[in-house]
Chain A
Amino acid sequence: MDKETVETISYLARLRFDEDNKEKITKDLENIIEFVDQLESADTSDIEPLANPLEKTAKTRSDEITAENRKETFLKNAPDSNKDYFLVPRVVE
């Protein structure tokens, strides 16, 4: 783990750290990754990954409309919106 890697993953996660914090977070991540590196000791050849303890396939339901349109309710929670859309700074000039 180095500062450059931290910068890359920070960007992937859309997070930013100031210089002081960057050093601390790099150190923390290094320790945590070193800690989880213990996993290497397990023999996992031919072991299927377990993604979910239930291991059940999600059930499908019939393709019917079950929810009403609550556009106004949801737009009310937006930091910025007009009557139809969420608003963000202009993307295309």
Chain B
Amino acid sequence: MTADDDVVIDVSGLATRFGTQTVHQDLDLQVRRGELVALIGGSGTGKSVLLREILGLQRPSAGSIRLLGTDMWNADAPALAATRKRFGMMFQEGALFSSLTVAANVATPLLEHTDTPPEFLPRLVNLRLSLAGLSPEVGGKMPAQLSGGMKKRAAIARALALEPEVLFLDEPTSGLDPITARAFDQLLAFLNSDLGLTVLVVTHDLDTLLSIARRIVVLGQGKVLADGTAEQVMQVDDPWIQSYFASRRAAPDASATATRSIADGT
């Protein structure tokens, strides 16, 4: 495996402008295979826009984006379609198909893109639900019957359907209670370490950052303001970063414990 092959997401010289408003300017970002990266930044710094551009949903004004070796904005349709089967995305509110049961939601990509034997399909769907932390009974429910946290888990199960190499998540813990949110962090850590998925997560949740993200990327003023472990990022002299982490220092105990556990590498 060459070094180049190891880079899963490669954003270079990215610029995004909406009319006169500049969101990104000369933004570079690389993510390697097996990393768990958290993307943070104040509102309006273009975190979600960057995610949409990487996924090929929104065209950047300039620059190149390579995802799994495919140039997302210059590749031909077959190459793009092949790449789309190799990553999964969890949208903020789940974006489950509301007319289908949860099981049918998870089965949709399998039915569309694979030749899975029909009698094996229910088991595979149940495995996906189980990997996302849901019991098989949930499969029979409609998305509207699920709580916010379960919707997000079901969305992860659907994103995992095709054995993706990369998993993108937009605000996975927003709107969840702290206990559910921590369980979610553990789920992401498990997917990253045990299944070897590369994970890019857009989040605001300091606990997520401090407990599972081994690399934090801070967006601001149109580019990457800081990039590194939590401790490295905290050292960066930027008013937004300082006030962001200061909001946590107000509660010294929790922060100390969390920081220590990072330092210990646990």
Determine if chain A interacts with chain B.
no
